[in-house]
Structure formats: C-alpha cells, structure tokens
C-alpha cells in the first residue's frame, strides 16, 4: 500500500538519526566517505538514494540497502503521481488467440 506523501530518505535520516543524536551532516559525510555537499543534497531532498548510497547507508546507519531503495522509490513514485496526467491513456485490449 502506498503511503500518502512519504518522507524523502534524507528527511528520514535527519529526523530519525541526526537530530536526536546531535550528529552533523559533515560527520555523516565523513562516515559515508562522501563529499559533505552530497550529504547536504541528500538531507535536503535534492538527491535520490542510489544503489551505491544505499550500500553506504546500510553500513553506516544499519538499515538494509533494500529498505533505503524502497523508501526512495515510494517517495519518487508519489512525487511522479502528483505530476502525472493519465487522461490520454487507456488500457491495451488484448484478445486471446
């Protein structure tokens, strides 16, 4: 079931991990071995979680890579549904042979 307006993974990271523990974006970037600007873009919802980033997040924050990718896909699909116009589409009718 699709959530209504799911949280971007970056917002989730900020809310669940960084803010409660007082951890900075720079510290997370060091742990992830990425540029601080990469983490800033992720935390601000300007970057999607790639497969490689999901692996990094898995090691550093402990959730499975699949969970990070699922969270990203749910967010991205919800965003697409908000913009998508399906009025010109209709199902393909396939007759059995």
pLDDT in tens, 48-70: 999 999 999 999 999 999 999 99
Note the pLDDT tens digit of each residue in 18-34.
999 999 999 999 999 99
Question: Does residue 3 carry a pLDDT above 70?
Answer: no
Helices (H), 33-64: 36-43, 51-61
pTM, whole model, 2 decimals? 0.86
pLDDT at 97: 67
d(CA 40, CA 60): 16
Domains belonging to the chain, first-starting first, are 9-79 (1.10.260.40)
User: For residues 42 and 13, is the Cβ–Cβ distance under 8 A?
Assistant: yes
């Amino acid at each position: 079931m699709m959530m209504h307006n799911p949280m971007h993974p970056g917002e989730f990271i900020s809310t669940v991990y960084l803010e409660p523990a007082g951890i900075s974006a720079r510290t997370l970037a060091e742990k992830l071995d990425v540029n601080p600007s990469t983490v800033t873009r992720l935390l601000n919802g300007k970057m999607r979680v790639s497969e490689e980033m999901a692996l990094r997040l898995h090691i550093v924050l402990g959730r499975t890579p699949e969970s990070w990718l699922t969270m990203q896909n749910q967010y991205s699909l919800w965003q697409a549904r908000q913009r998508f116009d399906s009025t010109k589409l209709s199902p393909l009718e396939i007759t059995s042979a």
